[in-house]
């Protein structure tokens, strides 16, 4: 389950930010896991919740958004949104799509309590 490793990385990133920026607690953490990131969102949420006690994330609300991935269609020369690498172009039905994003897992927002 690589989500536990990802959750550990997110926690480390947030704790480093807490030291650098001088906040004590996180009220809300918003993550973005692109549709092609390979992240199982339920497993990531479970892993984060298991790591939160005793950290600056303890008691924080966690939101994980799953935006669609942009892809370039070679046939209709348009950027479209897909949810899977197996999707066809929603405009023309072509399978000749090149994903141009959606592989990322990122911290999008931290709402914090002051120290």
Query: What pLDDT, in 10s, does the model give residues 31-81?
Result: 999 999 999 999 999 999 999 999 999 999 999 999 999 999 999 999 999
pLDDT-derived band at 114 (thresholds 50, 70, 90) equals confident
pLDDT-derived band at 14 (thresholds 50, 70, 90) equals very high
- Helices 2-21 and 41-51 meet at what angle, rounded to 10? 50
**Model pTM?**
0.88
Structure tokens at 34: 């692109």
Task: Check if CATH label 3.40.50.410 holds for domain 2-69+102-114.
Answer: no
Mean pLDDT value across the chain: 96
C-alpha 43: how far from chain center: 12
C-alpha–C-alpha distance, residues 9 and 1, integer Å: 14
The pLDDT, as a whole number, for residue 113 is 84
C-alpha–C-alpha distance, residues 87 and 95, integer Å: 7
Q: Are 28 and 110 in contact (CB under 8 A)?
A: yes
C-alpha–C-alpha distance, residues 14 and 55, integer Å: 10
């Amino acid at each position: 389950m690589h989500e536990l490793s990802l959750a550990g990385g997110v926690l480390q990133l947030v704790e480093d930010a807490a030291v650098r920026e001088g906040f004590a607690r996180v009220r809300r953490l918003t993550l973005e896991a692109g549709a092609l990131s390979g992240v199982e969102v339920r497993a990531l949420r479970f892993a984060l919740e298991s790591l939160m006690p005793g950290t600056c994330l303890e008691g924080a609300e966690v939101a994980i958004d799953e935006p669609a991935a942009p892809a370039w269609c070679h046939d209709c020369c348009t950027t479209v949104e897909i949810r899977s690498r197996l999707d066809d172009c929603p405009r023309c039905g072509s399978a000749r799509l090149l994903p141009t994003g959606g592989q990322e897992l990122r911290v999008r927002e931290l709402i914090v309590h002051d120290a």
